[in-house]
Chains A and B, each alone.
Chain A
Amino acid sequence: MPKKFLSTLLWLAICIGGASAIGGIAIHRGESINAIWFVAAAICTYLVAYRFYSAWICARVLTLDDTRATPAERFNNGRDFVPTNRWVTFGHHFAAIAGPGPLIGPTLAMQFGYLPGTLWILAGSVLGGCVQDMVILFCSTRRDGRSLGQMARDELGLIGGWAAMVGAMLIMVILIAVLGLVIVNAMKHSPWATSTVLGTIPVAMLIGIYMHGIRPGRVLEGSLIGIALLLVCVVGGGWVDHNESLRGLFDWSGEAVAGFVMLYGFAAATLPVWLLLAPRDYLSTFLKLGVVFMLAVSILFLAPEMKMPALTQFIDGSGPIFKGSLFPFVFITIACGAVSGFHSLVASGTTPKLLSNERDIRLIGYGSMALESLVAIMAVIAACVLDPGVYFAINSPAGVVGAEAAAAVATISSWGFPVTVEQMEMLAREVGEQTLFARTGGAPSLAVGMATIFSNTFGSTLLSMWYHFAIMFEVLFILTTLDAGTRVGRFMLQDMLKHVWKPMANLSSYPATVLSSGIFVAAWGYFLWQGVKDPLGGVNILWPLFGIANQLLAGIALTVATGILIKMRKARYAWVTGVPLAWLAIVCTSAAFEKVLSSNPAIGFLSGAAQMQQQLLAGALPPERAAVAPQLIIGQQIDAALALFFALVLWVVIIEMLRMSLRMRKGKSVLPLSESGYIRTRLEPAVAILAD
């Protein structure tokens, strides 16, 4: 009994600790607050939710069965279906779901102050995101590792299936466009960043050739050599930056970087994967895990003070980084890190083919997302350790605060966030940039935040090295998402186009590859171009669109999950996925409507287009803006159509699910549950814990 007593006592302490940390954050109103409170609140929340809520879901709702053979065991081919150690699978799954989203989204959302974002990251993850990832992983595991689109078709019917497929492809288009924009804003007019990133491409190819031809499959040694070469690239970039004749070569405009990104995406989608995509992914995964770990250690070691207020005046919707009020836009901006629909594609892809036992679903589905959410909390901390004035100066587009440094600091200081031109110039010099004003997109301000934390912890005063290391790290793994996404998008497109024209189905045909890659790159390239040309920096348009798309995909995943729970005769527990679904449906729909219909031209796409049209007709635009205005007007109208379409797709899937549940209730026939039959596992329990 004393053991049980001790454990009860321990969990009681964790609960109380977490509750007081959250309470402390919520009611604290002072100059600054220590970041340790955030770490403590987050970790206690995840521990309690994992220990109690996820355990309850697994036992009562999903009724995981550890005697049931998983697809990995039944189809074991030693290649993609392989029963794998749970911690190894955890590592794979976490590496796959952790992308730039949970770093960028929270950085942008800090314009509301730290409180709303932090609360949504904590509540959204443990009640929504983690549940979604875990339940979808469960559903796919019980269906031989089938994809979300296929499950939607099998369980909800053709309409649901098509909606899921089209939704998944469109979110890919918007995701890649917005990530491309982040890269553009981090690299433009920065010779150091541009030359470093360009250097990483031959490094990746070299490692690709090494791991393919010279020492096939020696992942560890290849990656170690690669990481060393990447660090050389960062230092080399600094050397280029200091060389007067060379730096001009790498001082690119936004348009030039955008062109490069598109060319790069096309190349990576058409070249063999072993040459560029796969080796760069190894490098960026190592770098990502390393940086996240370093950031966690330094935050704990440094215990920095957070200078952002709990709430800012921008919750009314007048924010400089993106327009729109707290509801619904904080929930749209922080998509990844709280609930990310994209995860459902991974949880119904590679991961179920590695699970050696059903009971691992809890750790891998729920646990990895909790860890991802912790990464988002660290991004919150990195954004808030900056002086708010500096944060707003970096992230506010010139169209809002003015293109001149003096005008920008005057505007930002007038909001109550004092900052000076000298301060910004000194910071820019320290990090090796020409300017830090209006570097929108989140990546530069995150890099300044991380560089500040790293240089203080590791005792080095070389802020510029840390800054460009952080930029290289962000760009590198955004590029991985970008080209992996272009490649998968091309496959999805070919899969759809084959219904129109048969030969498109041939994945290895060269013309079909070039044509479909071209179409897909053109699709995201269009939105990227629009973002680069937009006077408000593009983030204001593209990031909310991406957030809506991501939450739409999460909505589809949760709908499929809810439908499956109802079919499993677990309707009384359907709220587990139904409540997050309802919330996302509300958020998604209201955000889509505001983005389409709002009469504020900075929020509503249609009124934005109308306003620009008026200015154009009245001749009120300067010539260089007037030249691109017609394209921007059409662009905003397309954005409006897309936002409406997203909301529509979500509701089609929800209605299909509700229709199916009603039919079931009335005792009418519905599509049968597509779960594969029970086969008893023959793996030794020891094997289940550690693969042979």
Chain B
Amino acid sequence: MIPGNPFKRFWQFLRQVTGDDAYERYRAHHAKVHPQGSHCSEVLLSRQQFFKLRQDEKWSRVSRCC
């Protein structure tokens, strides 16, 4: 369960489902997988780069139906 009161949980759900917090989650993932100083560190994308890349990926596949 997500900690916090129902309102807070709903807010978190809303941010996740809309992708509003996608960059924060990406940054957290990046920090976990590529810790600073590790030799294979991949460059962290900026907020703008991250969203542009994500949108380009999303809209080069079928992502909306009839």
Contacts and interface: CB of A to CB of B under 8 A. Distances in A.
Contacts of A101: 65-66
Nearest to B23: A217
A96 B63 contact: yes
The interface size bin for chain B is: 35 or more
Interface in B20-66: 20, 22-23, 25-26, 28-30, 33, 47-48, 50-66
Contacts of A97: 65
A145 B20 CA distance: 24
Given A88-B16, A88-B17, A690-B2, A346 B62 contact: yes
B25 A99 contact: no
A484 B16 contact: no
A79 interface: yes
A281 B64 contact: yes
Contacts of B53: 79
Contacts of A278: 55, 58-59
Given A79-B54, A212-B48, A212-B52, A550 B66 contact: yes
B47 to A, nearest CB: 5
B57 A80 contact: yes
A350 B64 contact: no
A480 interface: yes
B64 A80 contact: no
Nearest to B59: A273
A348 to B, nearest CB: 9
A84 B51 contact: no
A134 to B, nearest CB: 16
A137 B1 CA distance: 26
A219 B66 CA distance: 24
Interface string A266-297: 00000001100110011000000000000000
Given A87-B13, A216-B51, A219-B19, A484 B59 contact: yes
Contacts of A198: none
A183 to B, nearest CB: 13
Interface residues of A, number: 58
Contacts of A213: 48
Given A79-B57, A274-B51, A100 B66 contact: yes
B66 A211 contact: no
A21 interface: no
Given A88-B17, A91-B17, A273-B55, A340 B26 contact: no
Nearest to A487: B59
B32 to A, nearest CB: 9
A547 to B, nearest CB: 10
Nearest to B56: A273
A379 interface: no
Given A211-B51, A219-B20, A691-B16, A481 B66 contact: yes
Given A342-B65, A349-B61, A690 B1 contact: yes
Given A273-B55, A273-B59, A488-B61, A220 B14 contact: yes
Interface string A49-63: 000000000000000
A485 B64 contact: yes
B8 interface: no
A217 B66 contact: no
B21 to A, nearest CB: 9
A85 B63 CA distance: 19
Contact of A96 (B2, B17, B57, B64): B64
B18 interface: yes
A216 B66 contact: no
Interface string A333-360: 0011000101101100110000000000
Contacts of B56: 273
A336 B64 CA distance: 13
Contacts of B47: 216-217
A41 interface: no
Given A274-B51, A274-B52, A274-B55, A350 B61 contact: yes
A87 B10 CA distance: 12
B52 A223 contact: no
Given A78-B29, A79-B54, A507 B20 contact: no
Given A80-B57, A217-B22, A217-B23, A336 B51 contact: no
A277 B59 contact: yes
B48 A78 contact: no
A77 B16 CA distance: 17
A90 to B, nearest CB: 9
Given A216-B51, A278-B59, 7 more contacts: A87-B17, A217-B23, A220-B20, A282-B18, A342-B62, A345-B62, A481-B65
10 contacts: A76-B29, A78-B33, A79-B50, A84-B16, A99-B66, A217-B47, A217-B51, A273-B55, A273-B59, A278-B55
Q: Lowest 8 CB-CB distances: which A-B pairs, in order? A: A78-B29, A101-B66, A345-B62, A78-B26, A216-B48, A217-B51, A91-B17, A99-B65
